[in-house]
Every structure is written in structure tokens, then in C-alpha cells.
């Protein structure tokens, strides 16, 4: 039976209940480091939890089902998944990246990837011509975020797939912002999909997790080897929290998106707000492309205030919304990217992207939208 995504979020790829003892409806937390063997040369299918664990396996299979992946590894954080992904690339490889990536990705690329002999270029991947012009003989991968972080640029994934095919590049997409509920990059031609499970998938701002989903068997096999070797695994308890969080992914995202649309429209009318970046607004430059390749807009909004003083005042005066890093959870959070998530992005690039001292990023939760608007209103006053 081909279940729809809402059902698969709750029951996984199949109904796996018979796998677990006593008819437990909720997946048990197999809090064990190791598994005893029935006999010499025999295995229950599980040997040691760094390699695999039944709770984590259930989560990974659900994630593969949601992303249309052949395999998924669940990692201890989004950065652990990205670090694992870098291990696939040989010394000397050049990677072409979206210009405004998550700041932690820029940091690992420039500080750690570079030491390993990898080179990176950051281009505006919403302009496919610029991407093609930047491909060299050494280029081995395209690394895309769409919508990007924090300026919400949209990259045409079909065009990236054409370029990747033509130049034999890996197409890697960080799908954290839209999640498999709204966007499936593998179906659009991506080889690998990355997630920070900390964000919408976990959804409750209470745990860290990451995923690396493979669209190809050969990559999946290499990743499984790297995964058990480097030990980037997610714990059984955190795997349980992710399984639990993902059950409500569709209802949370629908509500978050509804709230985000109302707030974006309200911000557009506020006199202290200069510019609003929300993919759901028809005037957003990537609106049509995003609509053609996804099923939604998500709930991330960035905006520019009139002055740096206004931005600082908003951060100090909000009280329902928290001034905190991270995104995607049921609680609304406001971030100052210049000082927080993008503090390590080189200043010239930050300036070019418009990540100034007037730039704020809002992750809209599932509180009552009127309450959220009232909090922003009093803070902007």
C-alpha cells in the first residue's frame, strides 16, 4: 500500500509494529550499546549501536520513505551529516555552493574542508548562468540550499540537475527549510539530501539531529561505511524524539506556514520594516520557481528594519517570541544573523547578501498568529 505522506510520517515506510515485542504502538527505545549474538557467526541483525540500532533504523526508514531515498543515516546533528558528506569528496575537489548557506556550513567548508584540500566557491545559485560559468575541471559537486539561509533565494533544482548531469557533478541539497513535506529534491534529481533534524523534523526545539539521505545505491554504500567508521550516529533516545516529532510534521508545517503568511503580510505594512523576504509572497523573485518544484513556502521570514536601532530594540522587546538561534520548532524564534548564525561569514559576502545590522530572521511557530503579531507590534513601536 502506497500511503500518503501524512500517514508515512506516523507509521513509517511500512507498518513495522510486528517487529517490536508486545504490540507496542510507539517504537521502543532500544537503549543498548551492544547486542548479544544467538551463536557463533550469528547475529540478530544488530551487533553494535554505532553501526545500527532498531530505534534508529525505524527513524531512518521513515526518513527514506519521506525523501524518496534509497537509504538514510541519522546523525547526531545537522553538522555531523554535513561533515559525513564532505568525507565523500576526494582531496583536490572543488565544490560550488549557494552563496548564502547556513553559517555553520560555510564554517566547516572554509575551516575544515579547506584543510583537507577541498576548495569551495560561493555563487548566487538562483542564477544558473553564474553556476555554469563557475564550474571548473576540478568541480565535483553542487551544494544547494533552496530557500537559502537567511535571504530566502530560490534555486531552480531542475536546472542544477541538468548542469550536474552535463558536468558529472554530485548534486547535494540541504532541504532543512522546506522538509520532505514540502519539497523532495531527490525526485528532482538530487543525489544527496541533507537535513538538520534539529529544526522542523524534530520540531520542538528540544534535541539535535541530522540526516544524510542518498538517492543512489553506490553513494548509500559509501556513506554506511563512513557512518559506522566515523561514529556520527544519533542516540536511541534522540531517535525516539525524532520519530515522535515527525508524526506531527504535516500539521505543524501547515499551521506554521499559515501563521508565516499572515505575519509576512503584516510586516510588509509596518512603517519600520523596509523589506520582507518570504517565499510565499507573490512578489518574491523566486516565487514561481519555488511553486514549480515544491508544495509550500515554509515558515521562515527575514526582514530589514529601517535602522539598526530598530532591529536591536525589537530583539530586546519581544517577549513571546524568543531571541534565539535555531528554527523550525513550535516556538517562534527571532535571530540576528549578523551576530549569530552568520557571524563567521566573511564581511564582504555578508554585505553583498544584505545581512546587515538591520537584518532579522524570524522562524514562525504554531502559537496564535494574533499573539505573535501583537508581540512584534509592541516591539516595533
Interface residues with ligand PLP (CB under 6 A) are 77-79, 102, 104-105, 145, 149, 174, 176, 196, 198-199, 208, 210
All three cell numbers of 155: 534555486
Number of other residues whose CB lies within 10 A of the CB of residue 49: 19
Q: Which of 8, 140, 153, 199 is catalytic?
A: 199
CB of 239 to ligand PLP, least distance (A): 14
CB of 181 to ligand PLP, least distance (A): 16
CB of 204 to ligand PLP, least distance (A): 14
Pairing of strands 119-123, 170-174: unpaired
- Specify whether 199 is catalytic: yes
Which of 341, 375, 11, 353 has the alpha carbon at shortest distance from 199?
341
The helix/strand/coil state of 124 is: coil
Contact 200, 249 (CB under 8 A): yes
All three cell numbers of 289: 520557481
Q: Which of 8, 30, 56, 102 is catalytic?
A: 102
CB of 78 to ligand PLP, least distance (A): 2
Which of 120, 159, 158 has the alpha carbon at shortest distance from 139?
120
Of 310 and 335, which CB lies nearer to ligand PLP in the complex structure? 335
**Residue 150 preceded by cis peptide, ω within 30:** yes
CB of 205 to ligand PLP, least distance (A): 11
The helix/strand/coil state of 333 is: strand
What are φ and ψ of residue 182, in 5° steps? Answer: -105, -25
CA-CA distance, 347 to 313, in Å (whole number)? Answer: 23
Of 180 and 210, which CB lies nearer to ligand PLP in the complex structure? 210
Pairing of strands 210-214, 170-174: unpaired
Which of 81, 68, 55 has the alpha carbon at shortest distance from 13?
68
Q: Which of 3, 47, 50, 224 is catalytic?
A: 50
For 312, half-sphere exposure in the C-beta direction (CA atoms, 13 angstrom radius) is 5
CB of 160 to ligand PLP, least distance (A): 17
Please state, in angstroms and as integers, the Cα–Cα distance from residue 296 to each residue in 109, 151, 283, 347, following that order. Answer: 29, 17, 15, 32
CB of 329 to ligand PLP, least distance (A): 11
Supply angle C-alpha 10, 64, 192, rounded to 5: 145
Of 208 and 358, which CB lies nearer to ligand PLP in the complex structure? 208
Residue 95 pairs in a beta bridge with: 120, 141
Of 67 and 174, which CB lies nearer to ligand PLP in the complex structure? 174
Q: Which of 71, 100, 174, 238 is catalytic?
A: 174
Of 186 and 208, which CB lies nearer to ligand PLP in the complex structure? 208
What are φ and ψ of residue 132, in 5° steps? Answer: -60, -40
Of 310 and 336, which CB lies nearer to ligand PLP in the complex structure? 336
Q: Exposed/middle/buried for 100, CB within 10 Å: 0-12, 13-18, 19+? A: buried
Kind plus residue range of the DSSP H or E element containing 57: helix 54-67
Of 55 and 149, which CB lies nearer to ligand PLP in the complex structure? 149
Q: Would you please indicate which residues are annotated as catalytic (active-site) residues?
A: 50, 102, 174, 199
Amino acid at each position: 500500500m502506497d500511503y500518503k505522506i501524512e500517514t508515512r510520517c506516523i507509521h513509517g515506510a511500512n507498518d513495522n509494529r510486528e517487529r517490536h515485542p508486545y504490540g507496542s504502538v510507539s517504537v521502543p527505545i532500544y537503549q543498548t550499546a551492544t547486542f548479544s549474538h544467538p551463536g557463533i557467526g550469528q547475529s540478530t541483525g544488530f551487533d553494535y549501536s554505532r553501526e545500527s540500532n532498531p530505534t534508529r533504523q525505524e527513524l531512518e526508514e521513515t526518513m527514506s520513505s519521506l525523501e524518496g531515498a534509497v537509504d538514510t543515516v541519522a546523525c547526531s546533528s545537522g553538522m555531523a551529516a554535513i561533515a559525513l558528506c564532505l568525507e565523500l569528496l576526494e582531496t583536490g575537489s572543488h565544490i560550488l555552493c549557494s552563496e548564502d548557506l547556513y553559517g555553520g556550513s560555510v564554517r566547516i567548508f572554509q575551516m575544515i574542508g579547506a584543510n583537507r584540500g577541498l576548495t569551495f566557491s560561493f555563487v548566487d545559485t538562483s542564477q544558473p548562468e553564474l553556476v555554469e560559468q563557475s564550474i571548473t575541471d576540478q568541480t565535483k559537486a553542487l551544494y544547494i540550499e533552496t530557500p537559502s539561509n537567511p535571504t530566502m533565494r530560490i534555486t531552480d533544482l531542475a536546472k542544477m540537475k541538468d548542469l550536474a548531469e552535463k558536468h558529472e557533478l554530485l548534486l547535494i541539497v540541504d532541504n532543512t527549510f522546506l522538509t520532505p513535506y514540502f519539497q523532495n529534491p531527490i525526485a528532482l534529481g538530487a543525489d544527496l539530501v541533507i537535513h538538520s533534524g534539529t529544526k522542523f523534523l524534530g520540531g520542538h526545539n528540544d534535541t539535535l539531529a541530522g540526516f544524510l539521505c542518498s538517492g543512489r545505491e553506490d553513494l548509500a554504500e559509501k556513506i554506511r561505511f563512513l557512518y559506522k567508521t566515523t561514529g556520527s550516529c544519533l542516540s536511541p533516545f534522540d531517535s525516539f524524539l525524532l520519530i515522535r516529532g515527525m508524526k506531527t510534521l504535516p500539521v505543524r508545517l501547515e499551521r506554521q506556514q499559515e501563521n508565516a503568511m499572515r505575519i509576512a503580510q503584516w510586516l510588509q505594512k509596518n512603517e519600520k520594516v523596509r523589506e520582507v523576504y518570504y517565499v510565499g509572497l507573490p512578489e518574491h523573485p523566486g516565487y514561481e520557481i519555488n511553486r514549480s518544484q515544491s508544495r509550500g513556502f515554509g515558515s521562515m521570514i527575514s526582514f530589514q528594519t529601517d535602522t539598526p536601532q530598530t532591529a536591536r530594540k525589537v530583539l530586546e522587546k519581544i517577549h513571546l517570541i524568543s531571541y534565539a538561534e535555531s528554527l523550525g520548532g513550535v516556538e517562534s524564534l527571532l535571530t540576528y544573523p549578523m551576530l549569530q548564525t552568520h557571524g563567521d561569514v566573511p564581511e564582504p559576502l555578508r554585505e553583498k547578501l544584505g545581512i546587515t545590522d538591520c537584518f532579522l530572521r524570524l522562524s514562525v511557530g504554531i502559537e496564535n498568529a494574533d499573539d505573535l503579531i501583537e508581540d512584534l507590534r509592541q516591539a516595533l513601536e
